[in-house]
Structure 1
């Protein structure tokens, strides 16, 4: 066999998009010169899944399982996705939250092979050239982060790449986006995490974070290059710090088919789950009183979508906003606070609204003060502050509400505002509880963005949408709120996530058409066409 043929055979095995391992047929082994490079046994995808599942369960910790799955993904994409899809309830917590948090913290430690793109500040003049690689010709979905606000863990620098990789694995698992059509990107603008910069194993750009005009210019160059290279691509902004998250969403949402999952995806998932909870309580959304703890990107996004949901049920905007109270680390957000972040301005209440409140005497109006005076029916946490919903707060809430709805949504588990078992105990089992991370408690729903963002992406691509509108997210939330049937939990089971993604995609397509944002041909807009476009993890003939 010629050296060229040998090299081609090894390239076939080295490319995770083409590698089949022992599942290459005898004919393929003959055609591509694979004899001797593989054991003689010709296996099946099912037997490979079983072998990898057994090896996975032999690992001693979930982090080791995460690292094992990452290595599998980098060697055989079909097998990785087939294994994930074979047992979504088991695999999703290993591929993404909560385990991905440790994966980001230890990213440099387990780094083995290139995946995605690291666009560092030192390469700011090479962005277009880097994106021009023909390997990316099929890309339809990009998830990008700058690593500054990874889950509730803060600045992880280049380790933040674990988030785009994980999110795109979920796009494939749930929405059927082909793995050749996704591209994780990390904008490496340095890190203010001193421990990382001093770590000899750290693989990222060793400098303090670039900020201000230099940061804005870098992102502008990136967006311009993406628009030129990938017309019509869907870009998801992920885990940017609060101000940047909000600013980038506003600046680019009409220039690029894009959305911010932390703001819009979290909001749609939380509101959709809340609509499901409201069906259980029998109290319409227009009569809910909501306290939000955490008024950053996620919290403000939830608040704005709640306002939209109340307006759709006939409430005026001012009346809707009067029912939502936001508390951050400095206490209740009031309009007399100077230099308020722009996303908080609409959340602020007039100081006159709290006239007559009984207060604790603290130098700020605390979460406990707010709960005691508002008497909320719904309590949502996006603060990243562990145990912020303490026994006193929950018991105070339960005194005034027959079935309190409590959503401690912060990730990972170590940052959750409350443990759901405690909430249930303190309310005598009356609470309806949803959490950001999986706790494995019967009746407690994981309010995971994976219920929304894959369907948003699938619907936006299927419709050829020119923008991802607020109405499309509201349509997704309302559809999500209708999907669950039965007494236990609030959302469909994780095993149904592909069906959920299809339902969300159909709702998004319908909304895109209604708003005049769809450019796809009518035959591509049907449920059948969308379902047919969803990739399944199966070996295809080698071309």
Structure 2
């Protein structure tokens, strides 16, 4: 049955708006329902970008882009490909945090997402089918919204994080937007503001925990594998009590990874490898302090630990390089309420004469003299001048990564870190940071944004038809990204710039895909991974309309 003109114009995958040719307008009953002039996608992009620039705030710019996304997917991605550096912080972090906090007031369309309610497990399969709409789904990003960025539990509003993540996958790596599915698992929320908000669109009860929750997750995984057997399942922003548990249960059974645990870890490891390339030091000689030992902090620790073992250290030797600091201070074996992930990195009180005093970041820095300090604490300004100067006094090139985001939660500003260390610090931030001018040198600041990694990683996994995601692939990806650093430039960044995102996403995809083939973990016979990546890459170009 042929679609009507209105159905075509209302379908974001088919709609070209004023770019429909005269022949298409005649063939598909579009004559007279559009202005007569036929425009190219390049001409449309100029017009739409002008409208975008007229918006006074980042949130209004994001709303405008979401409306374009809702109506013309191809034009949206064509425009984003031309302005990827400018649009990344608008469609994703940090502006996405504002849109999540105001999701109830801003809601217009579900944006092809699947809303899974823990109160209606009998509807789970139908929900996934309805949201997919018969499309060949190759990539699912799922969140339960308990640990959104640095802003916490946002219930069903967190669906925007899955939608934004998938936008970056397409813009950076070329994942076909018709083959992706954002999913939010509404298990309730402990956010009282949402529960008391008459406009809130999610389930109005506290978060469901325990067996009922894990049974629902299991049902979701099994149903997803049944309906979409070729899909990569990407977990996003689950709470610290569930994230690692879920990943560990499924990582050896299906093609899956958790971006907060593994993606963050790989990007930070890549930044550390880049820093070592600049400083000419060895990673195995470093003392690593992680400030904020939640899902991301432990995930980063595990990724660095894996690398240290790959570089020849035993498990015990490798763990001796870590100092994890959380709200209790330095984590010891007798610290109450440790998570399973934290327990792997605790220290013994017998190592320190004054262990009972190591309850603050400053005290720990004075005691252990870290050479690497990574912040995932969401404690704004925690990396104070006195702490940084103490660290710099015992490290030739201190590596300092304040990664918490959005901007208001960062542990420090890049310009302060450069100034306080007299230009010695090797810095990466979790949010975009402008270059820093200091004593005649321009310091480029790397952004340890997962977007540098997960698009290429995920695309390589999909293109290679990987059965599993393992540590070898992640290590190969980190080395590929860390190796892009230009060590010859004074003030060089420890990570490549977002401006080259599409280029190195392809490099990472090829490296990861080759790792899959080398390990014989591919489902389909593939001999040339570069060709497989080329064949799967989607370009934001209009194609001739054909409805059957």
* TM-score, length of structure 1 as denominator length: 0.96
Structure 1 segments unaligned to the other structure (5+ residues): none
2:533 aligned to which of 525, 530, 533: 530
1:22 aligned to which of 6, 18, 23: 18
- Per-residue CA deviation, residues 370-403 of structure 1 (Å, 9 max, x unaligned), is 1112111111011111111111111110111121
Give the structure 2 partner of residue 511 of structure 1.
515
Distance in 2 between residues matched to 1:248 and 1:395, nearest whole Å: 40
Distance in 2 between residues matched to 1:528 and 1:515, nearest whole Å: 18
2:300 aligned to which of 299, 302, 325: 302
Distance in 2 between residues matched to 1:242 and 1:10, nearest whole Å: 46
Q: Quick check: 1:121 aligned with 2:118?
A: yes
Give the structure 2 partner of residue 542 of structure 1.
545
Matches within 5 A, 1:382-393: 382-393=376-387
Distance in 2 between residues matched to 1:484 and 1:542, nearest whole Å: 43
Give the structure 2 partner of residue 78 of structure 1.
74
Give the structure 2 partner of residue 345 of structure 1.
343
1:109 aligned to which of 88, 93, 105: 105
Q: Quick check: 1:481 aligned with 2:485?
A: no
Q: Quick check: 1:38 aligned with 2:52?
A: no
Distance in 1 between residues matched to 2:202 and 2:435, nearest whole Å: 38
- Per-residue CA deviation, residues 171-218 of structure 1 (Å, 9 max, x unaligned), is 101111111000000001111111112212211122211111111111
Distance in 2 between residues matched to 1:338 and 1:59, nearest whole Å: 50
CA contact (8 A) 1:462 1:520 kept: no
Distance in 2 between residues matched to 1:218 and 1:248, nearest whole Å: 12
Structure 2 segments unaligned to the other structure (5+ residues): 437-443
Three-state SS of the structure 2 residue aligned to 1:54 is: helix
Kindly state the Cα deviation for residue 254 of structure 1 after the two structures are TM-superposed.
Answer: 2.0
Distance in 1 between residues matched to 2:305 and 2:119, nearest whole Å: 43
Give the structure 1 partner of residue 441 of structure 2.
none
Kindly state the Cα deviation for residue 369 of structure 1 after the two structures are TM-superposed.
Answer: 1.5
Q: Measured at CA, do residues 352 and 290 of structure 1 come closer, stay the same or move farther in structure 2, by a change above 3 Å?
A: same
Distance in 1 between residues matched to 2:105 and 2:79, nearest whole Å: 24
Q: Quick check: 1:93 aligned with 2:86?
A: no
CA contact (8 A) 1:98 1:438 kept: no
- Cα RMSD (Å): 1.5
Count how many residue pairs are aligned between Structure 1 and Structure 2. Answer: 534
Kindly state the Cα deviation for residue 108 of structure 1 after the two structures are TM-superposed.
Answer: 1.5
Q: Measured at CA, do residues 466 and 86 of structure 1 come closer, stay the same or move farther in structure 2, by a change above 3 Å?
A: same
Distance in 1 between residues matched to 2:213 and 2:379, nearest whole Å: 28
Kindly state the Cα deviation for residue 269 of structure 1 after the two structures are TM-superposed.
Answer: 0.3
Kindly state the Cα deviation for residue 302 of structure 1 after the two structures are TM-superposed.
Answer: 0.9
Runs of 4+ with deviation above 3 angstroms: none
CA contact (8 A) 1:265 1:452 kept: yes
Q: Quick check: 1:495 aligned with 2:499?
A: yes
CA contact (8 A) 1:502 1:531 kept: no
Kindly state the Cα deviation for residue 36 of structure 1 after the two structures are TM-superposed.
Answer: 1.9
Three-state SS of the structure 2 residue aligned to 1:132 is: helix
Give the structure 2 partner of residue 441 of structure 1.
435
Three-state SS of the structure 2 residue aligned to 1:74 is: helix
Give the structure 1 partner of residue 214 of structure 2.
216
CA contact (8 A) 1:273 1:481 kept: yes
- Per-residue CA deviation, residues 311-354 of structure 1 (Å, 9 max, x unaligned), is 22222221111111110111101112244211111111122222
Distance in 1 between residues matched to 2:410 and 2:515, nearest whole Å: 34
Kindly state the Cα deviation for residue 432 of structure 1 after the two structures are TM-superposed.
Answer: 1.1
CA contact (8 A) 1:263 1:301 kept: yes
Which stretch has the larger CA shift, 311-320 or 185-194? 311-320
Give the structure 2 partner of residue 152 of structure 1.
150
Three-state SS of the structure 2 residue aligned to 1:190 is: coil
Give the structure 2 partner of residue 323 of structure 1.
321
Kindly state the Cα deviation for residue 140 of structure 1 after the two structures are TM-superposed.
Answer: 0.4
CA contact (8 A) 1:100 1:166 kept: yes
Three-state SS of the structure 1 residue aligned to 2:273 is: helix
CA contact (8 A) 1:78 1:538 kept: yes
Distance in 1 between residues matched to 2:496 and 2:421, nearest whole Å: 25
Distance in 1 between residues matched to 2:341 and 2:27, nearest whole Å: 59
Three-state SS of the structure 1 residue aligned to 2:391 is: helix
Three-state SS of the structure 2 residue aligned to 1:402 is: coil
Matches within 5 A, 1:466-477: 466-477=467-478
CA contact (8 A) 1:235 1:259 kept: yes
